[in-house]
Structure 1
Amino acid sequence: MQTMWLGGVEWLAVLRIGLGLWWLESWRHKDRKGWLERGTGIAWAADIAAKHRWPFVQRGFAAVVQPRARLMAYVVVHAELALGLGLVLGFLTPIALAGSLLLNLLYLVLMIHDWAEQGQNSMMALVAAVALAAMAWQTWSVDAALGWFL
C-alpha cells in the first residue's frame, strides 16, 4: 500500500483518533446538567421515539429507555466520554469501536427522519466499522504499547 506522509497503520490511527475526537466533541457540547439533573436529553429522545415512523422504535424506547430514564441519561453521557477517551488513547480499542458502531446505529435508527443526523451517524458508524476491521489499534495506542489485541 502506498500512502502520502504516513504509513497505512498510522492513517488508520488518525482515523481512530478522529472518531474519538468526534465523540469527545459530542460529549463536550452536551448540556450535561440538563441531561443528568433535569432529564432533558431522554425527554427529547422520548418525544422523537413517540412520533417515530417505525413502531418497533416506539415500543423499544417505551420498554427499555423510559422506565430507566435517569440511568439511560447517565449511560449516554458517560458512554460518549468513554468512547472518545478509549479511541483517542487507543485503550480497549476493539471494545470502544464496537460500542461506537452500536451507539451510532442506535442514534441513526432513532433519528432516521433527520438528514443531518443520518449523515453524521452513518459516517461515524462507517469509520468505526473500517477501524475495527482494519485493527486501527496497531499503532499510537495504549493497546499496542501493552501488546493487547495484536
Structure 2
Amino acid sequence: MDTIWLTGAEWLAVLRIGLGLWWLESWRHKDKKAWFERGSGIEWATGVATRHRWPAVRRGFDLVVAPRPRLMAYVVVYAELALGLGLAVGFLTPIALVGGLLLNVLYFILMIHDWAEQGQNSMMALISVVGLFAMSWQTWSVDNALGLFQ
C-alpha cells in the first residue's frame, strides 16, 4: 500500500481520544444522584473491600475511603470526568494518562477477585501506558496547540 490512511502519531491520538471517551462513558452512565446522595458506588466498594483477600486493601480502604464516603464519591465521579475531558481534547494529557493509569490500577486491585471487570481495567491501563510513552499528546491536542509537554 503506497499511502497510509493515518500516520502513527495520528493513530496514537485516536487511541488517546478513544480512552478519553471511555472515561467519559464511565462518568456518563453513573447515577450521580445515587452516588452523591446515597454513596451507592462507595457502598458497593465497601462491600467488595470488606471481603477482599488482601488485608492491606481492607485496611487502606478502611483508612482512606470508609471514613469519607461522600467525598470519595465526588472524587471518583469527577476524576472520571476530568480524565475523559483531558484525554479527549488532549489537555494536560500526560497528567491525565498517569491519573487514569493509577485509577485503573486501584480499580484492578479492589476488584482482583472479579475477573469479569479486569479486561476493561487492563486495557485502559495498557492504553494509558502506550499513550504516555508514545507521547500521544503531540497530535490533535490542546497541549500541542499550546506548546505544552514538547
Q: Which runs of 4+ in 1 moved over 2 A?
A: none
- Identity value in percent: 75
Equivalent residue, structure 1, for 2:136: 136
RMSD, aligned α-carbons: 1.2
Deviation digits for residues 25-84 of structure 1, max 9, x if unmatched? 000101111101111110100000000011111000000001111111000000000000
Equivalent residue, structure 1, for 2:86: 86
TM-score (norm 1): 0.97
Amino acid of the residue matched to residue 76 of structure 1? Answer: V
Instruction: Give unmatched runs, 5+ long, in structure 2.
Output: none
Equivalent residue, structure 1, for 2:146: 146
Structure 2 counterparts to residues 27-106 of structure 1, below 5 A: 27-106=27-106
Structure 2 CA distance for aligned equivalents of residues 116 and 134 of structure 1: 29
Structure 1 CA distance for aligned equivalents of residues 22 and 4 of structure 2: 24
Q: CA deviation at 1:4?
A: 3.4
Amino acid of the residue matched to residue 39 of structure 2? Answer: G
Amino acid of the residue matched to residue 110 of structure 1? Answer: L
Structure 1 CA distance for aligned equivalents of residues 122 and 90 of structure 2: 22
Instruction: Give unmatched runs, 5+ long, in structure 1.
Output: none
Change (3 A) 1:11 1:3: farther
Structure 2 CA distance for aligned equivalents of residues 45 and 3 of structure 1: 49
SS in 1 for 2:139: coil
Structure 2 CA distance for aligned equivalents of residues 100 and 4 of structure 1: 30
Q: Number of paired residues? A: 149
SS in 2 for 1:98: helix
Structure 1 CA distance for aligned equivalents of residues 77 and 23 of structure 2: 10
TM-score (norm 2): 0.97
Q: CA deviation at 1:3?
A: 8.2
Structure 1 CA distance for aligned equivalents of residues 116 and 97 of structure 2: 22
Structure 2 CA distance for aligned equivalents of residues 130 and 139 of structure 1: 14
